[in-house]
Amino acid sequence: MECVFCKIARGEIPAHKVYEDEEFVAFRDINPQAPTHILIIPGKHIESLSSVAEEDRELLGKLLWVAKRVADELNLKKGYRLVINTGPDGGQEVLHLHVHLLGGRALAWPPG
């Protein structure tokens, strides 16, 4: 079975996109955990943070830059949280590297 996030990145599955460029897509989570819950994915399929390669260093930096840009565009001036779940014990459900951008309310700690 092909990756659902790859299909979203290619436009084969509809999503409420809030950002898109040649390398990344950001879209609203269908099961939001905060008033603002955006998923930011690279178009390149990478299973998880634990499987990135040396060649992905620049992509990882850009991924965080896109997260900051989306947070700015969504006016999250009071703050936000970025989460990368990695592997089954880390809560990763879709095996495609993604960042959760959560905001729009005060976020408690610890998260889980």
Catalytic residue numbers, as ranges: 98
Residue 25: both structure tokens together: 């897509």
Q: Which of 25, 37, 39 is nearest to 98 (CA)?
A: 39
Place of tokens 């499987």: 51
Query: For residue 6, which of 35, 46, 37 has the smallest C-alpha distance?
Result: 46
DSSP assignment of 65-111: HHHHHHHHHTT-TT-EEEE---SGGGT--SSS--EEEEESS---SS-
